[in-house]
């Protein structure tokens, strides 16, 4: 009596099919499980035995062997409980094995036979669809998440008896037992919440708002330097709101990440809002990258397609910041763990905020008495390679009291409108290339798309002399100028675009340029 059942395992934010093979044969009574199993998969043995007994199924005193194939990949998680139980029942002949054709099972069992949700259902169902499966049976709480994958026939069950009844019935009556779940995407409470964080609430701060707009338009990383209480966090939290809404494809990607992380909500399985992650500065490298014992998407991946906000940048440990270098470059996190390599997406926009010195009030010398040495030391805590990835640097100045009383500023919707226009220009420009946004441009693309006229060339030379920036700084200015021109709807980068771009890097030499001031 042998039976094969399909289930799924997670690999990064993707999945692979697992064949659960159950064999019940004569021999010394016993229950053995093989197939490179981790601790929690091994525990399935006890759960399945008790759950089946409590659900009213008697286990025969025979030798039961379970194998999870492919046996060379290490299996994690509790999703194999349900397929193992179903496999045993099939092997015992509770229902026709043809009922199991092209059906995938994933779910955890309680001791009373209840089916509990597991993480990563979304990518598993997606993979099932790609591999030609017709139906997926998962926990009731996972059903809507699974239905996100599209055309797949997803059924949510509350307990194992329902599943057995379902499998025993002919096609027509089945739907009465476990109805097919269809996901409908509509406006939710969360989207409404998003709108409550509007740029209209930010008074004054024209410079910072403009920088945020440019950053959102060109997917540039942004650094805000300013006094405590000037509104750095306030602005950062509103940046996802001016980025274009997630496309269906992006939504699916983000949902997959959150599914694997086990963070999708039953009520709102599809992530439609751009993520905003703001880890505290004591965050560990493992939490940021996602590499603890069992790999799960870290904060960088949870910020995929959204904003990763690091407040108090110099307080982050250098090692923590440095582990962001490669993800910032590749837009992915590669984790090498004992049992294999995992890749999670991490295409986020980095937004950082910091004080200009320890006390926070430099350059107001009436309040700040930090020495130049201590200021330099404080700024020096920020790793250079991370700074290199930041295209825009803007100073947030304390808001004048008269500005606080002024009428509200521009709304997020109005800014988003301009951002989307600029994005469309970039889409056309980079169609068919590896770049997506101006922020991604490397030297070759910059040379191709950021050509300067003679007058602009002169401005650049002049700036190069006065500001003494590096070759990297030169490229950063061109990248940002490209986005500014896109926002203005112009194909050619003009002098005013360059001048504005220069403003966003003018602080470099003074903040991080070293000691040319006595």
Partner 1 sequence: MSDKYDYWLHHLPGVGERTIRKLLAVFSKPEEIYERLISPGAGKAERQKEFEGILTGKQKEALAACTKSWSLEEEYEKLAEMGIQFLTFQDLMYPQRLKEIPDPPFGLYVRGNLPKENVLSVAVIGARECSEYGRFVGQELGKTLGEKGVQVISGMARGIDGISQAAALDAGGISFGVLGCGVDICYPSQNKRLYERLLTQGGILSPYIPGTMPKAPLFPPRNRIVSGLADALIVVEARQKSGTLITVDMALEQGREVYVVPGRLTDRLSDGCNRLIKQGAGILLSPEDFLTEMSDNFPDKFVLCSENSSGKTNYEPFSMSKEERIIYDSLDLTPKAVNQICIDSQTKLSYLQVQQILIRFCLIGAAKQPVPGFYAAVHPPQK
Among the listed ranges 263-271, 314-322, 370-378, 443-451, the one in contact with partner 1 (CB under 8 A) is: 370-378
Among 346, 463, 477, 480, binds partner 1 (CB under 8 A): 463
For residue 225, give the nearest of 415, 411, 347, 378 by alpha carbon: 378
**348 and 304 in contact (C-beta within 8 Å)?**
yes
Any contact of residue 393 with partner 1 (CB under 8 A)? yes
**Closest to partner 1 by CB, 391 or 500:** 500
Cβ 447 to partner 1, closest distance in Å? 23
- Characterize 292-323 residue by residue with b for buried, 16 or more Cβ atoms within 10 angstroms of its Cβ, and e for exposed: eeebbbbbbbbbbbbbbbbbebbebeeebbeb
Residue with tokens 């490229």: 475
**Closest to partner 1 by CB, 43 or 496:** 496
Dihedral sign from CA coordinates of 31, 37, 43, 48: negative
Among 96, 206, 330, 427, binds partner 1 (CB under 8 A): 206
Among the listed ranges 12-20, 286-294, 382-390, 457-465, the one in contact with partner 1 (CB under 8 A) is: 457-465
Any contact of residue 37 with partner 1 (CB under 8 A)? no
> Using CB under 8 A, which residues numbered 137 to 166 contact partner 1?
none
Cβ 505 to partner 1, closest distance in Å? 9
Among 210, 232, 238, 273, binds partner 1 (CB under 8 A): 210
Q: How many residues does the chain have?
A: 518
Q: How far apart are CA 279 and CA 300, in angstroms?
A: 10
**Closest to partner 1 by CB, 305 or 505:** 505
SS3 of 335, please? strand
What is the 8-class DSSP label of residue 30?
Answer: E
**104 and 4 in contact (C-beta within 8 Å)?**
no
Among 400, 406, 443, 457, binds partner 1 (CB under 8 A): 400
> Using CB under 8 A, which residues numbered 403 to 422 contact partner 1?
403
Among 254, 264, 333, 394, binds partner 1 (CB under 8 A): 394
Among the listed ranges 236-244, 276-284, 345-353, 397-405, the one in contact with partner 1 (CB under 8 A) is: 397-405
List Cβ neighbours of 31 (8 Å cut-off, separation of 6 or more): 45, 49, 64, 66
Residue with tokens 């053995």: 32
Tokens encoding 208: 């910072």
Q: How far apart are CA 120 and CA 114, in angstroms?
A: 19
What is the 8-class DSSP label of residue 58?
Answer: P
Among 81, 395, 440, 486, binds partner 1 (CB under 8 A): 395
> Using CB under 8 A, which residues numbered 464 to 493 contact partner 1?
466
Any contact of residue 515 with partner 1 (CB under 8 A)? yes
Interface ranges with partner 1 (CB under 8 A): 204, 206-207, 210, 225, 362-363, 365-366, 369-373, 393-395, 397, 400, 402-403, 459, 462-463, 466, 496, 499-500, 502-503, 506-507, 510-511, 515, 518
């Amino acid at each position: 009596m042998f039976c094969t059942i399909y289930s799924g395992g997670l690999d990064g934010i993707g999945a692979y099919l697992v064949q659960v093979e159950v064999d019940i044969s004569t021999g010394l009574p016993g229950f053995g499980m093989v197939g490179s199993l981790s601790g929690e998969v091994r525990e399935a043995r006890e759960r399945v035995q008790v759950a089946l007994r409590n659900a009213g199924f008697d286990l025969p005193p025979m030798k039961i062997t379970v194998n999870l194939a492919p046996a060379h990949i290490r299996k994690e998680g509790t999703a194999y409980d349900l397929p193992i139980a179903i496999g045993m029942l099939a092997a015992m002949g509770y229902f026709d094995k043809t009922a199991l054709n092209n059906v995938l099972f994933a779910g955890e069992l309680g001791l009373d036979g209840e089916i509990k949700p597991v993480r990563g259902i979304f990518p598993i169902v997606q993979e099932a669809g790609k591999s030609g499966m017709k139906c997926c049976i998962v926990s009731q709480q996972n059903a809507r998440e699974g239905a996100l994958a599209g055309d797949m026939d997803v059924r949510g069950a509350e307990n194992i008896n329902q599943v057995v009844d379902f499998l025993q019935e002919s096609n027509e009556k089945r739907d009465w037992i476990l109805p097919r779940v269809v996901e409908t995407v509509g406006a939710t409470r969360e989207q409404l919440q998003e709108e409550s964080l509007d740029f209209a609430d930010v008074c004054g701060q024209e410079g910072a708002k403009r920088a945020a707009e440019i950053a959102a338009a060109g997917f540039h990383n942004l650094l805000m330097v300013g006094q405590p209480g000037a509104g750095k966090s306030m602005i950062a939290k509103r940046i996802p709101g001016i980025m274009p809404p997630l496309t269906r494809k992006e939504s699916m990607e983000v949902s997959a990440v959150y599914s694997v992380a086990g963070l999708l909500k039953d009520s709102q399985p599809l992530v439609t809002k751009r993520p905003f992650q703001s880890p505290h500065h004591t965050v560990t490298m493992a939490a940021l990258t996602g590499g603890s014992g069992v790999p799960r998407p870290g904060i960088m991946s949870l910020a995929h397609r959204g904003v990763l906000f690091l407040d108090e940048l110099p307080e982050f440990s250098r090692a923590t910041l440095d582990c962001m270098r490669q993800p910032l470059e590749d837009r992915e996190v590669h984790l090498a763990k004992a049992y294999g390599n995992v890749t999670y997406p991490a295409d986020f926009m980095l937004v950082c905020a910091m004080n200009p010195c320890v006390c926070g009030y430099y350059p107001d010398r009436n309040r700040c008495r930090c020495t130049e040495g201590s200021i330099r030391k404080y700024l020096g805590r920020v790793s250079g390679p991370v700074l290199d990835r930041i295209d825009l640097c803007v100073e947030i100045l304390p808001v004048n009291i008269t500005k606080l009383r002024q009428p509200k500023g521009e709304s997020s919707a109005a800014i988003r409108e301009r951002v989307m226009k600029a994005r469309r220009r970039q889409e056309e420009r980079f169609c068919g290339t590896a770049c997506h946004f101006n922020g991604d441009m490397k030297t070759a693309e910059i040379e191709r798309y950021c050509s300067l006229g003679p007058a602009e060339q002169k401005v650049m030379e002049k700036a190069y002399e006065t500001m003494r920036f590096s070759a990297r700084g030169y490229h950063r200015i061109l990248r940002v100028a490209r986005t500014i021109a896109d926002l203005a709807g112009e194909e050619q980068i003009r002098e005013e675009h360059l001048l504005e771009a220069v403003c966003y890097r003018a602080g470099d030499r003074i903040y991080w340029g070293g000691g040319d001031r006595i």
